[in-house]
Amino acid sequence: MDFIFMLTRGDKTILDGIEVIDTIAKCGVTHIGFKDVGVDKQTLISLTDRIREIGATSYIEVVSTTSEDIYNSLAVAAELGVDRVLGGQDVGQALDILKDCGAEYYPFPGKPAGHPTKLGGTPDDIARDCENMMATGCAGVDLLAYRATDCDPLDLVRAAKGSMNGGYLIVAGSVDSPERIRALAGAGADAFTIGTAVFDGSFSPNKGAIQSQCRDVLAACEG
């Protein structure tokens, strides 16, 4: 599985992301992202440029909640030229905005609501959404499995993977332990995001450095 390091804490992009990128690059992290809230546009540009400079894959996750804000966030994502855009649910609009920038799109299946986002929906709902999203031209989905309010997170992961016909399944939110990483791997996830659990040290409670946290996350992926 791929470990996508999110430059976020409390679901907002951190202010000192450039310094963190330079730190985690030394650990072998090759997938790095941020969210569309917490910093200004110029900071997002700087983050994208730095991720590109170190040869990593760049991500932006759209967590805006109004139609206007989501549209604006997608437009910013296209302007930034990130590799992968996560979040949102208006697939037609997103693919139209992103069509000329080369970014792959991974929308939210199910019924996401609020910020921090919670996920409603049954496994059948998730499977149906994933199938439709793949048929429309998405590269995969961004599943908020551990934010589920209605059922077991791993049931959602299995339902998603079984309906995606080879699409790339990212699990985002509250992946905070080696046990959850192993469980996600067993259920079929291709990647997961972690931000806060590294910054607050809760992934490896006995270690203090960001580098140590990241190395333990990568070790869990390999194990």
Report the distance separating Cα 28 and Cα 43, nearest Å.
23
pLDDT of 6 over the 90 cut: yes
Contacts 24+ apart (CB under 8 A), 197-204: 198/5, 199/9, 199/14, 200/9, 202/176, 203/176, 203/177, 203/178
Contacts of 205 (CB under 8 A, 6+ apart): none
Task: Tell me which DSSP letter residue 81 carries.
Answer: T
Report the distance separating Cα 174 and Cα 180, nearest Å.
9
* Main-chain phi, psi angles of 28, to 5 degrees: 95, 15
Express each pLDDT in 26-47 by its tens digit.
999 999 999 989 999 999 999 9
pLDDT band at 67 (very low <50, low <70, confident <90, very high): confident
Report the distance separating Cα 152 and Cα 205, nearest Å.
26
Report the distance separating Cα 185 and Cα 171, nearest Å.
10
Predicted local distance difference test score (pLDDT) of residue 223: 75
pLDDT band at 23 (very low <50, low <70, confident <90, very high): very high
> Which domains are delineated in the chain?
2-222 (3.20.20.60)
pLDDT of 115 over the 80 cut: no
Three-point CA angle 102, 104, 105, nearest 5°:
130
